Structure 1
Amino acid sequence: MPRASIVVVVVITLLLSACSTQFGYRFADTLIEWKLNDYVSLNSQQEQSVDQAITTLHQWHATSELPYYAQQLQTLRDKIASNTLTETDLVATYEQFFIAWQRMLNAVEPHAQEMLPQLSDEQIIELIENLREKQREEEEELLEYSDSERSKRLIRRAEKNTRSWLGQVTKVQQRLINRWVVERLDTRELWLDYNQRWLNEFEKALQQRQQPEQFNNYLQQLFYNPEQWRSEELRSRVEHNQQLTLVLFYQLSETLTDRQRRRIVDKLDGYIEDMNEIAEDFSKR
């Protein structure tokens, strides 16, 4: 789903914050409100409603979802530590976090149903214009680099991410990363096309916001069935890349040195501890 509404900004920010620093997560509600100002100007009453919704979502996410994330990471951590991780385990972990994403949407969607109809015509125009401007920026960014340049950037990003988890990368691991980059299918243009389609439908939905039944049905489609606006080629490439990435993760896990394994375990321990501490603190509020 593209960054196409107040709701989506909230969802993405909270989700990413769950894997960020404690400081960033604890102030996620403030960061979200700052981000909203980039898309639409709210009046004082709307700001109060949004503030309350974000506070509610933040509290729910911290007390209900972070312990779940910590539990899933603990299972993953133990399997890595004992060198018993399988491809099936990685698939199961991916599926569990996808289910968590669905729970996030379920929590956010009622607030969208309530708040989006409160936007004026002028605010709708502002919101759509800002979203289309963001779309244009991404399209321009896509044209800045050739295919070979994008491949090099992808390799550098993959290497950076891998080093952050493994430290020094072995030659075998480097070959695995290079092969992943070569075999990965480009989806940028297809995603931009999908984002444009989704945004067009979102704009149509907003035009019906004063007709509750039609608007609610339309918004639910945008939330829970966005794949209908994705091309078959995009769906195929996304599935291919997901499978390729899961295979890469498993192959990297099979090549870990003792030092790399300890580094991963220590890093996961840090995330797990942070999530449990935050959940405990929020539960006392």
Structure 2
Amino acid sequence: MSLACARWYRPLLLLCVLAFLSGCAARLAYNTMNYWVPWYLDDYVSLTPAQASRFESELLQAQAVHRRQELPKLHQHILEFQQDLQRPLTSEQIRSYHYSFTALAEQSASVFTPPAANLLRYLSNIQIDQINSKINKELDELRVKRDKLSQKEKLQRYTTRFEKFSKEWIGSLTEEQQTIIEELAKYQLDIEPVFFSARRGLYQQWQALLSQRHRPEFDARFERLLRDVVGLRYAPVQSQLDQYLQRRFTLMAQLNQSLSSSQRQYLINKLTDTRKEIAVLIQQ
């Protein structure tokens, strides 16, 4: 789910995901974040030289902590995941790994909260308006774009997206696996209104929080909001979100249990490549 309140902050939240992408491109992205994150932010707000310099310096400090503290945890979690993948996973195992990897992503968000919170604190009201105007424009464009799609077209987009991701990690798909993916896509389409409700609510929290960015409790509240975004938590629809996740765990277990020995080895090999890349990042 793409939550508007974190769109400009999204590169930092996705650092953990970047580490999952094997290859030199991921290492380059991680090692040069002090260049491309400010470049990305430039689409949302024009920083003064002093603001940009301070943010880049604090971002590098946070990255050093993340490299030393969080990447080893991710490396170890992937190793444990690989060991369990030698045999078909149950729905409960998938649930457990979902929440353990989500916890790592939330902790990554916490590590990068200080530079982001400090940046927001020193932005002027005009700069804050600039960010929100950009976000509102993107939301409007997204809404118009999606309103033009039929339910069938939306379903096809989800199906194509899930197919592409699955093929990247397990290779070719059988008819049985294709059916499971189509069911995942249908459920994703059904849950859309709940996601949109969560996005609106979290965006409202973001806007309210920015108006209080000079208060002492801002950092803690900002970190909590970011962790809620990563953890897919929004109290008014939490029961529906939890039901959605449980259904996905069941379908993902079915997909995992349908893997052939060659598909399972393909996945394990991909994860081995990823661990190697993370190990290189840790040492750099």
After TM superposition, the score normalised by the length of structure 1 is 0.85
Between the two proteins, the alignment pairs up a number of residues equal to: 278
Cα 1:215–1:265 change in 2 (3 A) is closer
- C-alpha distance in structure 1 between counterparts of 2:145 and 2:170, whole Å: 30
Q: Report the 3-state secondary structure (helix = DSSP H, G, I; strand = E; otherwise coil) of the residue aligned with 2:268.
A: helix
Q: Report the 3-state secondary structure (helix = DSSP H, G, I; strand = E; otherwise coil) of the residue aligned with 1:126.
A: helix
Partner of 2:114: 110
Spell out, residue by residue over 1:47-72, the C-alpha distance to the aligned partner (whole angstroms, 9 max, x if none).
Answer: 01110122122222222212211111
CA contact (8 A) 2:191 2:244 kept: no
Partner of 2:272: 269
Correspondence 1:149 to 2:167: no
- C-alpha distance in structure 2 between counterparts of 1:54 and 1:8, whole Å: 12
Cα 1:47–1:151 change in 2 (3 A) is same
Partner of 1:18: 19
Correspondence 1:177 to 2:181: yes
- C-alpha distance in structure 2 between counterparts of 1:46 and 1:148, whole Å: 46
How big is the shift at 1:139? 1.4
Write the letter of the residue equivalent to 2:151. Answer: D
How big is the shift at 1:84? 5.3
Partner of 2:54: 49
How big is the shift at 1:110? 3.0
Correspondence 1:92 to 2:96: yes
Partner of 1:64: 69
How big is the shift at 1:219? 3.5
CA RMSD of aligned residues (A): 2.7
The farther-off stretch of 118-127 and 238-247 is 238-247
Correspondence 1:2 to 2:6: no
- C-alpha distance in structure 2 between counterparts of 1:133 and 1:67, whole Å: 39
- C-alpha distance in structure 2 between counterparts of 1:89 and 1:155, whole Å: 25
Unaligned regions of 5+ residues in structure 2, if any? Answer: none
Correspondence 1:257 to 2:249: no
Write the letter of the residue equivalent to 2:206. Answer: F
Q: 2:32 aligns with which of 27, 30, 54?
A: 27
Spell out, residue by residue over 1:126-146, the C-alpha distance to the aligned partner (whole angstroms, 9 max, x if none).
Answer: 111112112212212221211
After TM superposition, the score normalised by the length of structure 2 is 0.86
Q: Report the 3-state secondary structure (helix = DSSP H, G, I; strand = E; otherwise coil) of the residue aligned with 1:39.
A: coil
How big is the shift at 1:254? 1.4
Q: 2:79 aligns with which of 66, 71, 74?
A: 74
Q: Which is greater in Rg? A: 1
Moved over 6 A (4+): 226-229
CA contact (8 A) 1:90 1:246 kept: yes
Q: Report the 3-state secondary structure (helix = DSSP H, G, I; strand = E; otherwise coil) of the residue aligned with 1:119.
A: coil
Correspondence 1:140 to 2:148: no
- C-alpha distance in structure 2 between counterparts of 1:174 and 1:6, whole Å: 31
Write the letter of the residue equivalent to 1:122. Answer: I
Q: Report the 3-state secondary structure (helix = DSSP H, G, I; strand = E; otherwise coil) of the residue aligned with 2:5.
A: coil
Q: 2:243 aligns with which of 240, 252, 259?
A: 240
How big is the shift at 1:43? 0.4
Q: Report the 3-state secondary structure (helix = DSSP H, G, I; strand = E; otherwise coil) of the residue aligned with 2:157.
A: helix
- C-alpha distance in structure 2 between counterparts of 1:217 and 1:70, whole Å: 28
- C-alpha distance in structure 1 between counterparts of 2:273 and 2:62, whole Å: 24
